[in-house]
Structure formats: C-alpha cells, structure tokens
C-alpha cells in the first residue's frame, strides 16, 4: 500500500487505497440507483476483480449494502446516516431547529424539516407530536414531488428544470414515499398545482399519500430568495386543521418567515 498518492503536491501523506475505494462510493452517489458489480466497477474506472474486495469491506462496515436477491449494490445505512448528519449541519438547518422545536411544542403536532437530497425532498429532522402518530416517516424519508405536500412545495419554488428532474427520477424509486393510488398527475396538472401552491404560500395534502393523515407544508428561503427547505406539519384528519387560512397554517407560515428572515431573506413588495 502506497502512503502517498501519486501526483499529490500538497506534501501530506495519504492512503491511496482509500482514495481508490472512494471512486466506488462516488459512482453509487452519482448513479442514484442500485448497480451490479460490473456496472459499478465500470463507472469507477476499475475492473470487477479490483472493485469486489473494496465492496466487501464497505459492506462489512455498513457504508454499502448488497441486495440478497438482485446482488446489486447501493449505499448502506452508515453512509445514509453520514449524509443526514451532514445535512443537519447545514447553516440553514441549524438556524431552523430552535424555531421548529418551539413550533412543535406550541401547536402540539409533528413538525419536520425537509431539504433537497439526491433522491428528492428528504426529511432530516422530525419534532414529534405530543400524541402518538403512526406514520411511515422518519429521518431520511424521501417525499414524492408528485403526491406529498412537502414535494409540492419544492415543485412550486424550485427552478422548473430542477423540479422536473426530481419529478421524473422518482418514478419507480422505491425509496420515495408516494401515493397508494396508481394515479400520477401529468405535467399540466402539476404546473397548475404549483401555481396554486405559490399563490397560497403553502401546500396541503389531505389523506394522501397516507389515508387519515393531513399535512401542511411551507417554504423557507435564503438571502437570494431560493428555497432551502420545507417545513411540514402533519396529524390525523380528526385532530389536524389543514385549512389554508387556519391557525396551524398561520403558525407554520410565521415560523418559516422567521427562519427566512434569519437567513437574510427579504420578501419582495
């Protein structure tokens, strides 16, 4: 094993094998989907025989995992945890956390923070409700751009081409929480929905994608007026007021406005 990477000119010692193995991880991240050994090795510019020992080691420590049926490789639980920790350290998220925790205590419902990850809008923090809520949502959950309030917020305020990229890539992605209904809104319907969300300043999801669970979601902007996260609150339909101008919607929007102001955003007009 060479201690100094060939071509390095900064004078620091490094482990060449670590940097070689990193190419496999980079290939998995860039692909965004599980890959078989041959395709993964090719993307990392190495042979399958060379890639395999790295993948065995990465699998043992949880950075990579292999599907027992397809034999395909994807990022493992430890890699996902590293990604979540990194996202949580982003300055906007750190600024938002005290506000979100305070809001959850104030309204008594679950409040979550989502940022845009490699698969789509990803939940990176959840402040639980004061009552038990049985929903399939946890840190790392990816929300559908087509079917969830969180996704609709990003679809409404992201640049169109960026939003369309995530809308298209979620089809068939089992990591994305989507509707139990097979119906997929077409592009025209999504554009109309995005315009309605921008007009209202929030997105609503009533019993979809989770029957009996309603949600409200609002955007948070930075100093350049770009969306940096969504705040989403949810709860059982019998307890959760999802009206567009109700007290929950107003509290959520006020919280988002406070965070946006802290990030340097100044509303136009």
Using one digit for the tens of pLDDT, what is the confidence trace for 156-167? Answer: 999 999 999 998
Extract the tokens encoding 101: 């925790």
Residue 230 β-bridge partners: 114, 219
pTM of the model: 0.67
Question: HSE on the CB side for 31, CA within 13 Å?
Answer: 20
For 149-168, b/e burial (b = at least 16 CB within 10 A) is bbbbbbbbbbeeeebbebbe
Mean pLDDT by 10 residues, the chain (269 residues): 47 81 90 90 94 94 92 87 64 89 94 91 89 71 90 95 89 66 70 94 89 94 92 93 96 96 81
Extract the tokens encoding 206: 């009533």
């Amino acid at each position: 094993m060479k201690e100094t990477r060939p071509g390095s000119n900064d004078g620091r010692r490094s482990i060449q094998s670590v940097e070689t193995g990193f190419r496999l991880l980079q290939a998995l991240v860039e692909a965004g989907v599980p890959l078989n050994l041959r395709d993964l090795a090719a993307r990392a510019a190495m042979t399958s025989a060379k890639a395999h020992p790295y993948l065995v080691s990465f699998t043992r420590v949880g950075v990579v995992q292999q599907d027992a049926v397809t034999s395909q490789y994807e990022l493992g639980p430890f890699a996902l945890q590293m990604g979540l920790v990194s996202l949580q350290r982003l300055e906007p998220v750190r600024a938002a956390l005290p506000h979100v925790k305070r809001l959850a205590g104030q309204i008594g419902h679950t409040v979550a923070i989502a940022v845009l990850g490699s698969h789509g809008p990803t939940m990176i923090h959840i402040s639980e409700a004061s009552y038990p809520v049985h929903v399939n949502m946890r840190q790392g959950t990816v929300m559908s751009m087509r079917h969830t309030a969180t996704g609709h917020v990003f679809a409404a305020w992201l640049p169109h081409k960026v939003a369309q990229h995530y809308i298209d890539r979620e089809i068939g992605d089992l990591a994305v929480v989507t509707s139990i209904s097979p119906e997929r809104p077409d592009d025209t319907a999504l554009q109309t929905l995005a315009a309605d969300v921008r007009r209202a300043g929030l997105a609503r999801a009533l019993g979809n994608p989770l029957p009996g669970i309603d949600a409200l979601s609002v955007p948070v902007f930075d100093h350049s007026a770009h969306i940096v996260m969504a705040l989403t609150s949810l709860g059982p339909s019998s307890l959760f007021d999802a009206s567009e101008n109700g007290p929950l919607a107003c509290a959520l929007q006020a919280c988002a406005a406070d965070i946006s102001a802290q990030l340097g955003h100044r509303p136009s007009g």
